[in-house]
Amino acid sequence: MNDQHRIVSSEDEDLVLVDRDDIGVGHLSKALCHDGPGVLHRAFSLFLFNEAGELLLQQRSAQKRLWPGFWSNSCCSHPRRGESMEVATRRRLLDELNFETDVEYVYKFRYTASFGDAGSENELCHVYLGNATGDVRPNRSEIDSVRFLSPNSLSAEMRDSPERFTPWFKQEWEELVANYRDRLGIYCKLD
C-alpha cells in the first residue's frame, strides 16, 4: 500500500488520559475514549498556512467514526502512550499529509462535543501554528480532500455554513482570531 492510502490509526491505540490540568492519569484505547460522553484525553490541532497566508483545510474521510466528511483544520489527532507532543505532531503530519514542518505551540483548551450515537470528543487540545512548506499529499485513508482558504474566506464560510465544519475547528479558529491575532498574523493576513 502506498503512502497515500496506508492505515495510520486504530481504535485500539492507547491514548493519554489527563485531568483538567493536563496531568497524565493513565491510558485508554481510542475507541473507549470516544464512546458515549467520552473520557478526557490529550489531543492536538495543527493550523498550517501556505506562502500566500491561506490555511490548509482537510475534509475528514467519510470512513471516520466522528464527523466524517466534515471540514477541519490542517491536521488533528492524539499523542499515543509514551509520545511527547513534539513526536506526536511530527508523526501525524507525516501520517496524514506526507510532509514535515516545524510547529509553534499557541494555547490549549478543553472541549466536549457529541456526534449522536457514534460517540463524543472529550479532549484537552493543544493548538499549534506552522507553515505548509511541503508538497501536500493527503493520505486517503484519513482525508477525502484538502484545500487552501484565506482567513477572510474561511470566516465567511464558517458564518454562512457552520454545519460543514468540525466543532473543535470552529472553536479554535474563533479563539485564534479573537485572542491570538499577533501570533496568527505571522502566518496570514487578517482584516
What is the rounded distance in angstroms from the CA atom of residue 90 to the CA atom of residue 100?
7
Q: Return the C-alpha cell found at 22.
A: 493536563
User: Which of 76, 125, 172, 188 is flagged as catalytic?
Assistant: 76
Is 76 noted as a catalytic residue in this protein? yes
What is the rounded distance in angstroms from the CA atom of residue 8 to the CA atom of residue 91?
10
HEC profile of 97-150: HCCCCCEEEEEEEEEEEECHHHCEEEEEEEEEEEECCCCCCCCCCCEEEEEEEC
Task: Work out the angle at residue 49's Cα, subtended by the Cα atoms of residues 125 and 137, and round it to the nearest 5 degrees.
Answer: 90
Give the CA count within 13 Å in the CB-facing half-sphere of 56: 28
- Judged on CB neighbours under 10 Å (0-12, 13-18, 19+), 187 is buried
Is 86 noted as a catalytic residue in this protein? no
Instruction: Write down the residue that cell numbers 454545519 correspond to.
Output: 163
User: Which of 123, 125, 142, 172 is flagged as catalytic?
Assistant: 123
Query: Which residues form the catalytic set?
Result: 76, 123
